[in-house]
Copies of this chain bind each other. A is one copy, B any other.
Amino acid sequence: MELIDGNKIAADIIAELKAEVATLPGRRPCIALVRVGEDPASISYVAKKQKTSAEIGIESRLIFPPVTITQDELFALIDGLNADAGVDGILVQSPLPKHLNEVAVFRRIAAHKDVDGFHTMNLGKLAQEDATGFVACTPAGIMELLQRSGVKLSGQHVVVLGRSLIVGKPAALLALQRQPWANATVTVCHSQTANLPAFTRQADILIAAIGKPEFVTAAMVKPGVVVIDVGVNRVPDATKKSGYRLTGDVHFPSVSPLCSKITPVPGGVGPMTVALLMKNTVKARRQNALPGPV
Protein backbone atom coordinates (compact mmCIF):
# COMPACT_ATOMS: atom_id res chain seq x y z
CA MET A 1 0.00 0.00 0.00
CA GLU A 2 1.23 3.43 -0.99
CA LEU A 3 0.04 6.68 0.53
CA ILE A 4 -0.90 9.44 -1.93
CA ASP A 5 0.74 12.48 -0.37
CA GLY A 6 -1.52 15.47 -0.99
CA ASN A 7 0.81 17.86 0.81
CA LYS A 8 3.71 16.92 -1.46
CA ILE A 9 1.65 17.04 -4.67
CA ALA A 10 0.08 20.38 -3.71
CA ALA A 11 3.55 21.78 -2.99
CA ASP A 12 4.73 20.58 -6.42
CA ILE A 13 1.83 22.36 -8.14
CA ILE A 14 2.48 25.54 -6.18
CA ALA A 15 6.17 25.45 -7.17
CA GLU A 16 5.22 24.97 -10.83
CA LEU A 17 2.78 27.88 -10.68
CA LYS A 18 5.43 30.10 -9.08
CA ALA A 19 7.78 29.31 -11.96
CA GLU A 20 5.06 29.95 -14.52
CA VAL A 21 3.96 33.24 -12.99
CA ALA A 22 7.57 34.46 -13.09
CA THR A 23 7.52 34.06 -16.89
CA LEU A 24 4.10 35.66 -17.54
CA PRO A 25 4.27 38.94 -19.45
CA GLY A 26 2.53 42.04 -18.10
CA ARG A 27 1.08 42.41 -14.65
CA ARG A 28 0.84 39.59 -12.12
CA PRO A 29 -2.34 37.51 -11.79
CA CYS A 30 -4.81 38.93 -9.28
CA ILE A 31 -7.43 37.21 -7.16
CA ALA A 32 -10.10 39.01 -5.15
CA LEU A 33 -10.77 37.23 -1.87
CA VAL A 34 -14.19 38.20 -0.55
CA ARG A 35 -15.02 37.17 3.01
CA VAL A 36 -18.34 38.19 4.52
CA GLY A 37 -18.25 38.55 8.32
CA GLU A 38 -15.86 37.07 10.84
CA ASP A 39 -16.53 33.31 10.84
CA PRO A 40 -13.37 31.77 12.38
CA ALA A 41 -13.11 28.94 9.83
CA SER A 42 -13.56 31.41 6.95
CA ILE A 43 -10.89 33.70 8.41
CA SER A 44 -8.49 30.79 8.48
CA TYR A 45 -9.33 29.58 4.93
CA VAL A 46 -9.00 33.03 3.40
CA ALA A 47 -5.71 33.63 5.24
CA LYS A 48 -4.36 30.38 3.76
CA LYS A 49 -5.43 31.44 0.26
CA GLN A 50 -3.80 34.84 0.72
CA LYS A 51 -0.56 33.28 1.96
CA THR A 52 -0.38 30.80 -0.93
CA SER A 53 -1.14 33.58 -3.44
CA ALA A 54 1.79 35.60 -2.07
CA GLU A 55 4.07 32.56 -2.26
CA ILE A 56 3.29 32.09 -5.97
CA GLY A 57 3.41 35.76 -6.89
CA ILE A 58 -0.35 36.17 -7.29
CA GLU A 59 -1.66 39.52 -6.07
CA SER A 60 -4.61 39.18 -3.70
CA ARG A 61 -7.20 41.84 -2.98
CA LEU A 62 -8.81 41.36 0.40
CA ILE A 63 -12.40 42.48 0.65
CA PHE A 64 -14.08 41.87 4.00
CA PRO A 65 -17.60 43.26 4.04
CA PRO A 66 -19.49 43.14 7.35
CA VAL A 67 -21.90 40.29 8.11
CA THR A 68 -24.75 42.81 7.72
CA ILE A 69 -24.13 43.34 3.98
CA THR A 70 -27.33 42.95 1.94
CA GLN A 71 -27.59 40.78 -1.14
CA ASP A 72 -27.90 43.84 -3.39
CA GLU A 73 -24.79 45.37 -1.83
CA LEU A 74 -22.87 42.12 -2.35
CA PHE A 75 -24.10 41.97 -5.96
CA ALA A 76 -22.85 45.54 -6.49
CA LEU A 77 -19.49 44.59 -5.00
CA ILE A 78 -19.22 41.57 -7.34
CA ASP A 79 -20.34 43.64 -10.34
CA GLY A 80 -17.49 46.04 -9.61
CA LEU A 81 -14.96 43.20 -9.50
CA ASN A 82 -16.42 41.68 -12.70
CA ALA A 83 -15.89 45.01 -14.48
CA ASP A 84 -12.38 45.54 -13.09
CA ALA A 85 -9.80 44.58 -15.75
CA GLY A 86 -7.16 44.28 -13.03
CA VAL A 87 -8.95 41.35 -11.36
CA ASP A 88 -8.58 37.89 -12.92
CA GLY A 89 -10.34 35.71 -10.38
CA ILE A 90 -13.03 36.23 -7.75
CA LEU A 91 -13.42 33.99 -4.71
CA VAL A 92 -16.39 34.47 -2.42
CA GLN A 93 -15.69 32.38 0.66
CA SER A 94 -18.42 29.88 1.53
CA PRO A 95 -20.50 29.54 3.68
CA LEU A 96 -22.31 32.86 3.45
CA PRO A 97 -24.59 34.16 6.22
CA LYS A 98 -28.10 32.75 5.92
CA HIS A 99 -29.72 35.96 4.64
CA LEU A 100 -27.66 35.73 1.43
CA ASN A 101 -28.55 33.36 -1.44
CA GLU A 102 -25.33 31.47 -2.13
CA VAL A 103 -26.33 30.07 -5.54
CA ALA A 104 -27.40 33.52 -6.76
CA VAL A 105 -24.19 35.08 -5.44
CA PHE A 106 -21.97 32.50 -7.17
CA ARG A 107 -23.93 32.92 -10.42
CA ARG A 108 -23.38 36.70 -10.21
CA ILE A 109 -19.61 36.25 -10.60
CA ALA A 110 -18.59 36.57 -14.26
CA ALA A 111 -18.03 33.03 -15.56
CA HIS A 112 -14.55 33.93 -16.88
CA LYS A 113 -13.50 35.06 -13.37
CA ASP A 114 -15.16 32.16 -11.54
CA VAL A 115 -11.97 30.45 -10.32
CA ASP A 116 -14.00 28.42 -7.81
CA GLY A 117 -15.75 26.71 -10.75
CA PHE A 118 -19.22 26.89 -9.20
CA HIS A 119 -20.85 28.96 -11.97
CA THR A 120 -23.56 27.20 -14.00
CA MET A 121 -21.72 28.09 -17.21
CA ASN A 122 -18.51 26.43 -15.99
CA LEU A 123 -20.39 23.29 -15.00
CA GLY A 124 -21.88 23.22 -18.50
CA LYS A 125 -18.43 23.63 -20.04
CA LEU A 126 -17.19 20.72 -17.95
CA ALA A 127 -19.95 18.52 -19.39
CA GLN A 128 -19.08 19.82 -22.88
CA GLU A 129 -15.38 19.11 -22.34
CA ASP A 130 -14.70 22.78 -23.15
CA ALA A 131 -11.25 23.43 -21.70
CA THR A 132 -11.83 27.20 -21.41
CA GLY A 133 -14.03 26.58 -18.37
CA PHE A 134 -13.01 26.37 -14.72
CA VAL A 135 -13.42 23.10 -12.85
CA ALA A 136 -14.29 23.18 -9.14
CA CYS A 137 -11.13 22.86 -7.06
CA THR A 138 -11.84 19.63 -5.18
CA PRO A 139 -12.70 17.42 -8.19
CA ALA A 140 -9.89 19.03 -10.22
CA GLY A 141 -7.58 18.27 -7.29
CA ILE A 142 -8.67 14.63 -7.25
CA MET A 143 -7.72 14.25 -10.91
CA GLU A 144 -4.30 15.83 -10.22
CA LEU A 145 -3.73 13.41 -7.33
CA LEU A 146 -4.52 10.45 -9.58
CA GLN A 147 -2.46 11.64 -12.54
CA ARG A 148 0.56 12.60 -10.49
CA SER A 149 0.44 9.26 -8.67
CA GLY A 150 0.60 7.40 -11.98
CA VAL A 151 -2.96 6.06 -11.75
CA LYS A 152 -4.36 5.50 -15.25
CA LEU A 153 -8.15 5.84 -15.53
CA SER A 154 -8.61 4.77 -19.15
CA GLY A 155 -10.80 1.68 -19.35
CA GLN A 156 -10.84 1.44 -15.56
CA HIS A 157 -13.98 1.47 -13.44
CA VAL A 158 -14.28 4.61 -11.33
CA VAL A 159 -16.98 4.41 -8.67
CA VAL A 160 -17.99 7.77 -7.19
CA LEU A 161 -19.76 7.64 -3.85
CA GLY A 162 -21.85 10.82 -3.60
CA ARG A 163 -23.62 12.99 -6.19
CA SER A 164 -22.95 16.47 -4.83
CA LEU A 165 -22.52 19.39 -7.17
CA ILE A 166 -19.13 20.35 -5.79
CA VAL A 167 -17.51 16.89 -5.76
CA GLY A 168 -19.41 13.83 -6.96
CA LYS A 169 -20.93 15.02 -10.22
CA PRO A 170 -17.96 17.05 -11.49
CA ALA A 171 -15.56 14.22 -10.55
CA ALA A 172 -17.74 11.81 -12.56
CA LEU A 173 -17.83 14.17 -15.55
CA LEU A 174 -14.04 14.59 -15.42
CA ALA A 175 -13.35 10.86 -15.25
CA LEU A 176 -15.63 10.37 -18.29
CA GLN A 177 -13.88 12.89 -20.55
CA ARG A 178 -12.39 11.81 -23.88
CA GLN A 179 -8.90 12.61 -22.60
CA PRO A 180 -5.83 10.39 -22.26
CA TRP A 181 -5.91 10.96 -18.47
CA ALA A 182 -9.62 10.10 -18.24
CA ASN A 183 -11.75 7.77 -20.43
CA ALA A 184 -12.96 5.79 -17.41
CA THR A 185 -16.17 3.82 -17.10
CA VAL A 186 -17.98 5.70 -14.32
CA THR A 187 -20.63 4.67 -11.79
CA VAL A 188 -22.21 7.22 -9.43
CA CYS A 189 -23.68 5.79 -6.21
CA HIS A 190 -25.50 7.70 -3.47
CA SER A 191 -27.87 7.47 -0.52
CA GLN A 192 -30.59 5.82 -2.64
CA THR A 193 -28.34 3.13 -4.13
CA ALA A 194 -29.54 -0.39 -3.43
CA ASN A 195 -26.84 -2.90 -2.43
CA LEU A 196 -24.05 -0.34 -2.32
CA PRO A 197 -21.22 -2.78 -1.48
CA ALA A 198 -21.90 -4.67 -4.73
CA PHE A 199 -20.94 -1.46 -6.56
CA THR A 200 -18.03 -0.28 -4.44
CA ARG A 201 -16.46 -3.76 -4.61
CA GLN A 202 -16.26 -3.37 -8.40
CA ALA A 203 -14.24 -0.17 -8.22
CA ASP A 204 -10.73 0.00 -9.62
CA ILE A 205 -10.72 3.55 -8.32
CA LEU A 206 -13.10 4.54 -5.50
CA ILE A 207 -13.83 8.22 -4.82
CA ALA A 208 -15.63 8.55 -1.47
CA ALA A 209 -17.44 11.87 -1.03
CA ILE A 210 -20.52 11.34 1.10
CA GLY A 211 -19.57 12.99 4.39
CA LYS A 212 -20.16 9.92 6.59
CA PRO A 213 -17.24 9.15 8.91
CA GLU A 214 -15.48 5.82 8.23
CA PHE A 215 -18.45 4.66 6.12
CA VAL A 216 -16.39 2.59 3.67
CA THR A 217 -15.17 -0.60 5.32
CA ALA A 218 -12.88 -3.43 4.21
CA ALA A 219 -15.83 -5.56 3.09
CA MET A 220 -16.79 -2.83 0.58
CA VAL A 221 -13.60 -2.75 -1.51
CA LYS A 222 -11.68 -5.17 -3.68
CA PRO A 223 -7.97 -5.82 -3.12
CA GLY A 224 -5.75 -3.54 -5.17
CA VAL A 225 -8.21 -0.64 -5.31
CA VAL A 226 -7.08 3.00 -5.41
CA VAL A 227 -9.05 5.01 -2.84
CA ILE A 228 -9.51 8.79 -2.86
CA ASP A 229 -11.09 9.84 0.43
CA VAL A 230 -12.74 13.25 0.12
CA GLY A 231 -14.46 13.18 3.51
CA VAL A 232 -13.47 15.54 6.31
CA ASN A 233 -15.52 14.57 9.36
CA ARG A 234 -15.11 15.55 13.01
CA VAL A 235 -15.54 12.61 15.32
CA PRO A 236 -15.67 13.08 19.12
CA ASP A 237 -12.42 11.87 20.73
CA ALA A 238 -11.83 12.41 24.45
CA THR A 239 -8.11 11.68 24.09
CA LYS A 240 -7.65 14.82 21.95
CA LYS A 241 -7.21 18.26 23.42
CA SER A 242 -9.73 19.63 20.90
CA GLY A 243 -12.21 16.94 21.90
CA TYR A 244 -12.42 15.55 18.36
CA ARG A 245 -10.34 13.96 15.64
CA LEU A 246 -10.59 14.31 11.86
CA THR A 247 -11.58 11.28 9.86
CA GLY A 248 -12.44 10.61 6.22
CA ASP A 249 -15.35 8.71 4.67
CA VAL A 250 -13.15 5.59 4.70
CA HIS A 251 -12.26 3.40 7.67
CA PHE A 252 -8.54 3.81 7.09
CA PRO A 253 -7.18 1.12 9.47
CA SER A 254 -9.10 -1.73 7.84
CA VAL A 255 -9.30 -0.48 4.24
CA SER A 256 -5.79 0.81 3.65
CA PRO A 257 -4.07 -2.62 3.81
CA LEU A 258 -6.23 -3.70 0.86
CA CYS A 259 -5.39 -0.67 -1.31
CA SER A 260 -2.70 -0.25 -3.92
CA LYS A 261 -2.88 3.47 -3.14
CA ILE A 262 -4.95 5.60 -0.76
CA THR A 263 -5.14 9.23 0.34
CA PRO A 264 -4.86 9.93 4.07
CA VAL A 265 -7.17 12.32 5.96
CA PRO A 266 -5.83 14.89 6.65
CA GLY A 267 -3.06 15.37 4.08
CA GLY A 268 -4.78 13.90 1.02
CA VAL A 269 -7.42 15.80 -0.94
CA GLY A 270 -7.52 18.73 1.51
CA PRO A 271 -4.28 20.49 0.56
CA MET A 272 -5.17 20.21 -3.15
CA THR A 273 -8.09 22.64 -3.14
CA VAL A 274 -6.03 25.77 -2.49
CA ALA A 275 -3.42 24.63 -5.05
CA LEU A 276 -6.13 24.19 -7.69
CA LEU A 277 -7.67 27.57 -6.84
CA MET A 278 -4.28 29.09 -7.58
CA LYS A 279 -3.98 27.09 -10.82
CA ASN A 280 -7.40 28.37 -11.94
CA THR A 281 -6.35 31.94 -11.13
CA VAL A 282 -3.20 31.69 -13.26
CA LYS A 283 -5.32 30.17 -16.05
CA ALA A 284 -7.79 33.07 -15.75
CA ARG A 285 -4.88 35.52 -16.07
CA ARG A 286 -3.67 33.79 -19.22
CA GLN A 287 -7.15 33.64 -20.75
CA ASN A 288 -8.01 37.21 -19.83
CA ALA A 289 -4.84 38.33 -21.60
CA LEU A 290 -6.15 36.81 -24.84
CA PRO A 291 -7.72 39.13 -27.41
CA GLY A 292 -11.34 37.85 -27.46
CA PRO A 293 -13.80 36.56 -24.88
CA VAL A 294 -13.67 32.82 -24.29
Known contacts A183-B192, A190-B185, A192-B154, A169 near B165 by CB under 8 Å: no
- Asked if A93 is at the interface of the complex by the 8 Å CB criterion, the answer is no
Contact stretch, chosen from A49-57, A125-133, A235-243: A125-133
- Asked if A151 is at the interface of the complex by the 8 Å CB criterion, the answer is no
Beyond contacts A120-B125, A128-B165: 4 other A-B pairs, Cβ-Cβ < 8 A, are: A120-B124, A123-B123, A124-B125, A163-B176
Chain A positions within 8 Å of B, measured between CB atoms, are 103, 119-128, 130, 154-156, 163, 165, 169-170, 172-173, 176, 178, 183-190, 192-194, 199
Residue in B124, B163, B178, B185 whose CB lies within 8 Å of A123: B124
User: Interface SS of chain A: helix, strand, loop or mixed?
Assistant: mixed
Q: When the two chains form their complex, are residues B183 and A173 in contact, meaning their CB atoms are under 8 A apart?
A: no
Known contacts A121-B121, A185-B194, A169 near B163 by CB under 8 Å: no
Give CA–CA (A205, B178) in the complex, Å.
Answer: 24
Q: Which residues of B contact A154 (CB under 8 A)?
A: 192
Q: Which residues of B contact A183 (CB under 8 A)?
A: 190, 192
Residue in B125, B156, B173, B193 whose CB lies within 8 Å of A155: B193
Q: Which residues of B contact A103 (CB under 8 A)?
A: 128
Q: Which residues of B contact A126 (CB under 8 A)?
A: 127
Give CA–CA (A184, B190) in the complex, Å.
Answer: 9
CB proximity of A144 to chain B, nearest CB, Å: 21
CB proximity of A276 to chain B, nearest CB, Å: 19
CB proximity of A261 to chain B, nearest CB, Å: 20
8 closest Cβ contacts across the A-B interface?
A124-B124, A120-B124, A123-B124, A155-B194, A187-B187, A183-B192, A185-B193, A123-B127
Q: When the two chains form their complex, are residues B169 and A185 in contact, meaning their CB atoms are under 8 A apart?
A: no
CB proximity of A195 to chain B, nearest CB, Å: 9
Q: Which residues of B contact A176 (CB under 8 A)?
A: 163, 169, 188, 190
Q: Which residues of B contact A178 (CB under 8 A)?
A: 163
CB proximity of A288 to chain B, nearest CB, Å: 19
